[in-house]
Amino acid sequence: MSHFKKKKKQLAFNRFSTPATTSVMQTSPDIEDEEGGTSMAQDMEHIETAIEASQKMVVSREKEIGEEAEKPTGPIGLDIGTSHIVMSQNKGRNIYTVKQLNAFFTVPYSKFTKKILVENDVTFLEKHNQFYILGYSAENFANMFNTNTRRTMEKGLLSAKEDESINVLQAIIDTLITRPDKTGEIVCFSLPGEPVDGLNSVVYHESILKMYLTSLGYRPISINEGLATIMAELSNDNFTGLGISMGGGMCNICLSYLSVPVISFSIQKGGDYIDSMVGVSLGEPATKIKTIKESSLNLARPPKDRIETALDIYYVDLVSSLLDTLEKVMKKSDKIPKIAKPVPIVLSGGTVLPKGFQDLFERSLGKVDLPIAVSEIRIAEDPLNTTAKGAMVMALSEAI
């Protein structure tokens, strides 16, 4: 995992403690460091740019069907999630994100179909006598065929169930970014913490992504998804606190002290788990449950039918297992820093979106005994774009 280098951390500390230090550091002479390359002043500038970026607003949009991929002209962030891939760029007063669905749909090869797909600007990959229709286009096809899209990732990692998961994931990334203007441009991509509840490891997933992004002409670095939440949201708290990203395939948790990850891990349960468990319990398709969950679930009021009752039950189940695991991991760890002040918890990812989620989390937190004091719980400003923003902040701080 990548995080601030030692020297950068010290600079960041100075910036956090007294703003006056900044001007002193900025006048430092441009001397090459022992790692051969960047000067202290340059490093400082990058950290400052990164901190400024963490305070910017995110302007987000979905990738339009047929729209060409972008050629980045600066460092980029890439949130590679089970449900979505989000690319972020720092431009002027905002951070701009573009989101693509991390899904595909296959149709049999025919010259005729190919012509129609091309004419309709549908993005696809041609392989093994099939067309792999990518991203949001795949969703349209699945709806027409009254079936589900397929996924390149499962529970936060490359899917072992799909033979073509690597090629298709690469093709979906290609719908968002092309080769950069400058070879070696930094891309910081999100990486799950090691799952505590499965046999999986992130090593394979990380290596495959690094190899691909390198072949595209980037210098890839990874950021833990929980830390990305902290980088995006906790600039006013000296990047100290608990960042929790609750997505489709998993939940990522990171405790950070002054931007340095102290503990990070994941559980391989998220929004997909809620959809499938409610579906299994009620004999309903998970896709129907997902649609209801996303459009009308309100955890702040009593459930009004059996689907809402089951959704409530599995929301409580997910948050309890996350917090029980957090308590166990923290109590087992000998790395918990003695932080003088209580720290904030910030929650991101699509699963935190229903009304009443923050209260549910707060109630569940009251039932566990964490070895750190919590000052507040808050929902990230833009939960579906938080990881991409945090990855962008890290990319800027590492840029040369």
Ligand X SMILES: Nc1ncnc2c1ncn2[C@@H]1O[C@H](COP(=O)(O)OP(=O)(O)OP(=O)(O)O)[C@@H](O)[C@H]1O
Tell me which residues touch ligand X (CB under 6 A). 81-84, 156, 245, 247-250, 270-272, 290, 293-294, 297, 349-351, 353-354, 384
Partner whose binding site includes residue 290, from ligand X, Mg ion, none (CB under 5 to 8 Å by kind): ligand X
The interface with Mg ion within residues 9-68 (CB under 5 A) comprises none
247 binds Mg ion (CB under 5 A): yes
The single residue listed with the structure tokens 């600079």 is 11
Residue 250 binds which entry of Mg ion, ligand X, none, CB below 5-8 Å type-dependent: ligand X
What's the closest the beta carbon of residue 31 comes to Mg ion, in angstroms?
Answer: 40
Q: In what order do the strands lie in the sheet with 241-246?
A: 260-267, 251-257, 241-246, 343-348, 374-379
Give the nearest distance from C-beta 74 to Mg ion in angstroms.
23
State the distance between the two ends of the chain, measured CA to CA, in whole angstroms: 19
Q: Which does 3 bind (CB under 5 to 8 A by kind): ligand X, Mg ion, none?
A: none
Minimum separation from the CB atom of position 91 to ligand X (A) = 22
Name the segment binding Mg ion (CB under 5 A); options: 13-21, 41-49, 243-251, 312-320.
Answer: 243-251
Give the x/- contact pattern for Mg ion in 201-220, rule: CB under 5 A: --------------------
Identify which range of 57-65, 66-74, 198-206, 241-249 contacts Mg ion by CB under 5 A. 241-249
Q: Which does 65 bind (CB under 5 to 8 A by kind): Mg ion, ligand X, none?
A: none
Which residue's CB is nearer to ligand X, number 235 or number 266? Answer: 266
Q: In the stretch 70-89, what mask flags binding to Mg ion with x, by CB under 5 A?
A: -----------x--------
| AA letter at 295 | S
Nearer to Mg ion, 46 or 84 (CB): 84
Residues in CB range of 303: below 8 A, 6 or more apart: 309, 311, 312
At a CB cut-off of 8 Å and minimum separation 6, what does 363 contact? none
By the 8 A CB rule, do 293 and 233 touch? no
Report the nearest approach of ligand X to the CB of residue 104 (Å): 15
Query: How many chain residues are in contact with Mg ion, going by CB under 5 A?
Result: 2
* Site residues (vs Mg ion, CB under 5 A): 81, 247
